[in-house]
Amino acid sequence: MSDDESYALRLTNVSRRFGSRDVLSNVTLSVPAGKITCLLGESGCGKSTLLRLISGVDRPDRGMIEMAGVEIAGPSRFVEPEDRKIGFMFQDFALFPHLDVTDNLSFGLRALSRSEQDVRVTDVVERIGIEHLADRFPHSLSGGEQQRVALARALAPEPDILLMDEPFSNLDQGLRERVRKETVDTLRKIETTAIMVTHDPQEALAVGDLIVLMRNGAIEQIGSPFDIYDRPASPYAAEFMGPCNRLTGIWSEGAISTPIGRFHADLDIPDGSMAMACIRPQALTLGPDGDGISARIIGKTFMGESEQIDISVHPLAEPLRVHHHERIAMAVGEKVGLRLNGAQVHVFADFNPLSQS
């Protein structure tokens, strides 16, 4: 397989500016063929703008976009959206209310003969498993059924790349997880190259083969779900993927010293420098007072499958947060013992605040 064949899409130093604001700054990204890539980040970080540039409804100010090694947007060429073989699945499904499911699927196939349209619609209906919906109108479909029809319509023209902008956000939680799994299973089965925008890190971890974490119009980190979660490249990446307890300390002899322990890491900073440890709530365990570091429970929140417990530890100014899957009988105000359970602690030279501001 050649390099161009292994990547369906390449972006090189892509930038977009609206007025005086840089919405995207020098974004370079390779999207693997036949995989699901998730663009993840907070609102306003540039992920939807990036999707618009890829689809062709907007143009980059600088940089180049290539599909299968062919330039589709850049200094020497711009390919119109209808000529890019890129499908788009909208957040609100955007089904035509006056057309039944079959006619909705046929709408984007008007360049084909009627017989070719029929073959294509029959094929995609069978692949998505919506034969029983073929004669129905959108108003008579549930949210999950509308989502499957929208997916079928996006796939009917046989696009080389499918773009999805927050495709499950309009569904209720229980339905969202089921429909998301069905959609992802379908995309993997037919080996579709898909790029999905989401602001939800848990969704990105569940769906993406590759996650592109964005921040302020730039890429913060690119990697597999395990890379992003287990090996965050920055304090921002660590906290965005899940809550963290942040502890600053002095770096010495390859480790940071904190009030709850000394944590080793591979950092190239001089001894005596300040560093920061990010400790996830599930990395901490509570036991009886005397078993571990002395702490006191100052708050408890029952979350169903787990319990969130806030504890104070001398001399820390801020409380630590612990997630326990076992019920803790101790009440607010009681003293407990705090231990680390061996889960990974992330250590960074940068200990600035983790917000975007």
Average pLDDT over residues 194-218: 97
- Domain assignment present for 354: no
CATH number at residue 228: 3.40.50.300
pLDDT given at position 193: 97
| Nearest Cα residue to 68 out of 192, 164, 161 | 161
User: Tens of pLDDT along 313-332?
Assistant: 999 999 999 998 887 788 99
Domain check: are 44 and 102 in the same one? yes
Average pLDDT over residues 280-290: 92
Domain check: are 164 and 258 in the same one? no
Domain check: are 164 and 255 in the same one? no
- Domain assignment present for 309: yes
* pTM of the predicted model as reported, rounded to 2 decimal places: 0.90
Domain check: are 70 and 194 in the same one? yes
More reliable by pLDDT, 92 or 2? 92
Q: Please say if the pLDDT value at position 192 is more than 70.
A: yes
Domain boundary among 209, 238, 267: 238
Domain boundary among 238, 263, 291: 238
- Domain assignment present for 356: no
Domain check: are 178 and 211 in the same one? yes
Domain check: are 54 and 177 in the same one? yes
- Domain assignment present for 355: no
- Domain assignment present for 199: yes
Band of pLDDT at residue 179, cut at 50, 70 and 90? confident
Half-sphere exposure of 229 (CA within 13 A, CB side): 15
CATH number at residue 265: 2.40.50.140
Ramachandran region, residue 124 (left: φ > 0; alpha: ψ -120 to 50; beta: rest): alpha
pLDDT given at position 4: 52
Domain check: are 161 and 68 in the same one? yes
- Domain assignment present for 325: yes
Domain check: are 180 and 49 in the same one? yes
More reliable by pLDDT, 200 or 173? 200
Degrees to nearest 5, angle at CA 95 with 93 and 101: 120
- Domain assignment present for 353: no
11 vs 30: CA distance, rounded Å:
6
Domain boundary among 202, 217, 238: 238
Band of pLDDT at residue 255, cut at 50, 70 and 90? very high
User: Tens of pLDDT along 79-133?
Assistant: 999 999 999 987 777 899 999 999 999 988 988 899 999 999 999 999 888 999 9
Mean pLDDT rounded to a whole number for the chain: 91
| Nearest Cα residue to 311 out of 329, 332, 328 | 332
User: Tens of pLDDT along 228-249?
Assistant: 999 999 999 999 999 999 999 9
pLDDT given at position 357: 37
Identify any residues that bridge with 258 across adjacent strands, giving them in sequence order. Answer: 261
- Tokens at residue 292, please? 């571990």
pLDDT given at position 174: 79
Number of domains within the chain = 2
220 vs 74: CA distance, rounded Å:
23
User: Which domain range does residue 66 map to?
Assistant: 3-238
Domain check: are 244 and 234 in the same one? no
- Domain assignment present for 357: no
More reliable by pLDDT, 176 or 67? 67
Q: Please say if the pLDDT value at position 2 is more than 50.
A: no
Q: Please say if the pLDDT value at position 57 is more than 70.
A: yes
| Nearest Cα residue to 336 out of 301, 288, 300 | 288
Contacts of 131 (CB under 8 A, 6+ apart): 125
Domain check: are 99 and 142 in the same one? yes
Domain check: are 215 and 247 in the same one? no
Domain check: are 112 and 229 in the same one? yes
pLDDT given at position 352: 53
